[in-house]
Structure 1
Amino acid sequence: MASFFTKSVVASLLVAAGTSQAAPGTVLAPGYDIVFPSSKTSRNPLPYSVANSPYFPGPNVNGVKNEVPDRCTVQQAAYVVRHGSRFPDTGSYNSWVALKDKIQIALNGSDFEACDTLSFIKDWTPVLTNSSLQIAQESMTGWKEASDLGYQLRARYPGFYEDGNPFYVWANQYASPINKSRVVQTAQAFLHGYLYEFVDTYGTVVSVNSTGSVNAIGNSLGPSDSCPKFGATSSGGNNVTDFDATWTPKALKRINKLVRGNLTFTESDILFFPYLCGYESQITGRLSDWCGVFTEDELRHYAYSQDLHYYYNVGPGSDGPARNLFLPFLESLITLLSEGPGQTGIAADGSHFDIPRLIMSFLNDNQIAEMTSAMGIFDNEKPLPLNRVPENRLYNVAHFITMRGTVAFETMNCQVGSGHRSGNETYVRILFNDAVYPVANCQKGPGKSCLLSDYLALIKKKSQAAGNWNTYCNVTQPGHPEKVAGASFFKDLSLDFLTFVKP
């Protein structure tokens, strides 16, 4: 894992420095938004922060290059993006303060000493400088990640948009008031990168309130918010606890040997260290001292613990409705892509608007986990084991649920066959953090893509097997739709749970 990350960082730095050769037409946007440095104990610690890591391009775990296949052109694309790097929520920040207080008590006592990779804690303090302002908001790294993505996609798909036209992106409202939503803030930053000088005039964030109306039930970027059974289902917690019991006692013993005096770290304390590594680094723009506390092997186990958390709580191994929540969304989105570019929708005033060829939506980490569970990527994978870290596992959260993690659907028009048997077909390929992830049971197209019509049929089959969304979510709210719409907001801006936000 670290070897790949190290090589990738070196390669990206060479590109950034202009030392590599490239053909005319090569996209200038670098894959990495920031540098990923080494620490005293790890060649590349930040990715081990998993969902708390800044964005980085995913490794090619499926052996498929992410260049557009020969004889194919990308016609449309839809990106589902997690919000960018951010400041901690109130609960997490309270844990920072509690850890600082615990260390301070020891400092005030006698015979306190911290050595080696923990020697810094004598002077450590939480890095938030104005917590009442900063809590839960986008950080400077998050803003850079999102605006960089705007630049990257504008360069990647040069024919998708022309300056001077309205451009919409969609964001899960998530917080109230809207301007406090880090998801909306990410969408705004993206627009600045995509539209640059013209963003104020032509860019609009469509904020989707998942609880704003009965019409939003099963028809939003946060469908779990209107699914009562999701909130009543608990799964996965014991799996993480059982796995942590296989490695944390040894790590705890080693780390506590680095301090002397009235300070003894608990298991909960040390499991917070990699979290601090990721958060402090992206908040300050400098590698945190906490990134050098865990050994490489401990980081590897910590990262897998996070995989288990997502996999069994809101991922493919979860109980309850989580795995099915995004099926209506996927069916609606893939249907829209199947209709091809050049479609129009209903504007807020009842007139018409041009649906972008690049459909951008922004949401949260759990929603990424829920959606990817339903996409057919992991259908043939065995359940994640609880007693060891499996090598080469496909379900690796650090590869697609990083901060500003991306799931992309590209529809490609491809020339297939030869001679009198040649013709054009439309395929879809899926990328997680810019790495190709073939659909498990549909990958016979160019670059292991899936025929778009076949993929739509696959999603519809999954949806039919899951049953009625209202039934498996136990929706009883008066006036709820008999069949949820999934993602009608991409085509209808007049819906009563949408708000328009300027960048």
Structure 2
Amino acid sequence: MARHAERYPTKRAGDSQRAVVERMKQSGNTFTGNLAFFNHWELFWSPDDTHMEQLTSTGPFSGTLGAFTTGIRLRTRYMHLLSRVASAYPHDHTTFWASDSTRVIETAKHFAAGFFGIDYNATKTATLEVISEDSSLGADTLTPGRTCLANKKDREQGQQKGYRLMAQYRATYLCATRERLLKQTGMPFDDQEIYAMQQMCGFETTVRGRSDWCDVFTHEEFLSFEYARDVLHYYRAGPGQKYAASMGWLWLNATTNLLLEGPEAGRLFFSFVHDGDIAPMITALDIINDDEHLPITHIAHDRKWRKSQVSPMGGRIIFELLSCNTSVYTGPEKFVRLNINDGITAIPDCHSGPGKTCPLAEFAARTKKKGEEVGDFRELCGLDEDAAERITFLHQGG
């Protein structure tokens, strides 16, 4: 399971938002129309930036509420597995994992309170293991985007490609918006400032429950903003860049090995990461494929890759191992089913099982083939030969 949660802006986004707000405040303008609210509006994070990049805890869309609620929902769905863990290992517990980021850790804890119970830590029902995000960990990580050095250094084909191409697409739609805002306010805004205003709609909504910034832009302008976000993540950590599939394969391969081991390996595995770590795994799965890379001259309205579907706030991917009696086989057969953001998703080239599930043996072969295609993580990422080559921590005791 991979997920991230509702949060305040990143430092990069926050700096842009603070800058445009300060410029508007210092202009001395009295704003009118759909910007009239700004005359008395204040930023929605603390002046000392302690809220920046942290989990939100207020409003109906708060990250704390979302994580806890998700824990309860999955407890309801998988209670039978939780009960079997308790009966099989009465003196043991479940380990779950989070990358070493404050908001990711807090997400994991709130989820665990909902899933395992509010006193899970005191009763030793479950234990959180924090995995460092340090770049020295090689492949033994939840955050390969930070350990794949080439991904960070390669400005043409690495993560910077996403920011570059997003900016190029952004320029195609913001010109008209800039002219409209200039007529309305008398102030010239650049692309980054307008984009920061659009971002504030979503960020403020997660903190305060609503945002007047959402009324500043038209429906068409937000469709263009949505596509800009799709382009960013497609080329930053998805199918449109060189390293994503190899980075995502690490977790996919470790999970596939757990599925092959079956219940003996453990019945429940939860790991918590950033949205930028979900996209590479989706890429390695080859599950949301477009026939061609996303264009940056116009919106591809028929695209499959959408940030809101791949890794929305609180997004998650669940691998289920099913044991089914079928007419094709003489006994119980194992199948893999994917649940992506609460939607059962058939694997395009592997769905011959019941309910379009993927036979486990075929799923394992598919993962192995993908590993051969993406090559050695260490070599591709420019790491030393003695760097870790796989994930080793994803296991339960008992």
TM-score calculated relative to the size of structure 1:
0.71
For 1:245 and 1:100, the matched residues in 2 are separated by 21
Match of 1:55 in 2: none
For 1:451 and 1:309, the matched residues in 2 are separated by 34
- TM-superposed CA distance for 1:380, in Å, is 5.9
For 1:210 and 1:151, the matched residues in 2 are separated by 28
Mapped contact 2:170–2:191 kept (Cα < 8 A): no
Match of 1:433 in 2: 341
Within the alignment, does 1:198 sit opposite 2:124 as a pair? no
Match of 2:366 in 1: 458
Of 257, 270, 294, the residue aligned with 2:194 is 270
Match of 1:403 in 2: 313
Of 226, 242, 246, the residue aligned with 2:168 is 242
For 2:290 and 2:33, the matched residues in 1 are separated by 45
- TM-superposed CA distance for 1:91, in Å, is 3.7
For 1:289 and 1:388, the matched residues in 2 are separated by 28
For 1:273 and 1:258, the matched residues in 2 are separated by 15
| SS at 1:427 equivalent | strand
| SS at 2:53 equivalent | coil
- Give the letter aligned to residue 322 of structure 1: A
* Deviation string, structure 1 residues 427-485 (Cα, Å, up to 9, x no partner): 112122111222221122223221111111111111112222211111127x424xx12
Within the alignment, does 1:251 sit opposite 2:172 as a pair? no
Of 246, 250, 254, the residue aligned with 1:324 is 246
- Name the Cα RMSD after superposition: 2.1
Greater RCO between the two (CA within 8 Å, min separation 6)?
1
* Deviation string, structure 1 residues 24-78 (Cα, Å, up to 9, x no partner): xxxxxxxxxxxxxxxxxxxxxxxxxxxxxxxxxxxxxxxxxxxxxxxxxxxxxxx
- TM-superposed CA distance for 1:398, in Å, is 0.5
User: Relative to total residues, which structure has the larger helix share, 1 or 2?
Assistant: 2
| SS at 2:120 equivalent | helix
Within the alignment, does 1:157 sit opposite 2:78 as a pair? yes
> Gaps (5+ residues) in structure 1?
1-78, 175-180, 344-354, 494-503
TM-score calculated relative to the size of structure 2:
0.89
Distance of aligned partners of 1:134 and 1:246 in 2 relative to their CA distance in 1, 3 Å threshold: closer
Aligned length: 380
| SS at 1:359 equivalent | coil
- TM-superposed CA distance for 1:266, in Å, is 2.1
Mapped contact 1:80–1:363 kept (Cα < 8 A): yes
| SS at 2:50 equivalent | helix
* Deviation string, structure 1 residues 234-271 (Cα, Å, up to 9, x no partner): 223443233223211112212332224xx332221111
Which structure 2 residues correspond to residues 50-69 of structure 1 after superposition, within 5 A? none
| SS at 2:82 equivalent | coil
> Gaps (5+ residues) in structure 2?
156-160
- TM-superposed CA distance for 1:404, in Å, is 1.4
Which structure 2 residues correspond to residues 213-232 of structure 1 after superposition, within 5 A? 216-232=137-153
For 2:24 and 2:113, the matched residues in 1 are separated by 42
Mapped contact 2:322–2:334 kept (Cα < 8 A): yes
Match of 1:62 in 2: none
- Give the letter aligned to residue 184 of structure 1: I
Match of 1:388 in 2: 298
Of 380, 395, 398, the residue aligned with 1:491 is 395
Mapped contact 1:219–1:329 kept (Cα < 8 A): no
- TM-superposed CA distance for 1:336, in Å, is 0.6
Which structure 2 residues correspond to residues 24-423 of structure 1 after superposition, within 5 A? 79-82=1-4, 84-107=5-28, 112-129=29-46, 131-140=48-57, 141-162=62-83, 166-174=93-101, 181-201=102-122, 202=124, 203-211=126-134, 216-234=137-155, 235-260=161-186, 263-284=187-208, 286-319=209-242, 321-343=243-265, 355=266, 357-379=267-289, 381-417=291-327, 423=331
For 1:94 and 1:191, the matched residues in 2 are separated by 33
Mapped contact 1:154–1:194 kept (Cα < 8 A): yes
For 1:91 and 1:312, the matched residues in 2 are separated by 18
Match of 2:158 in 1: none
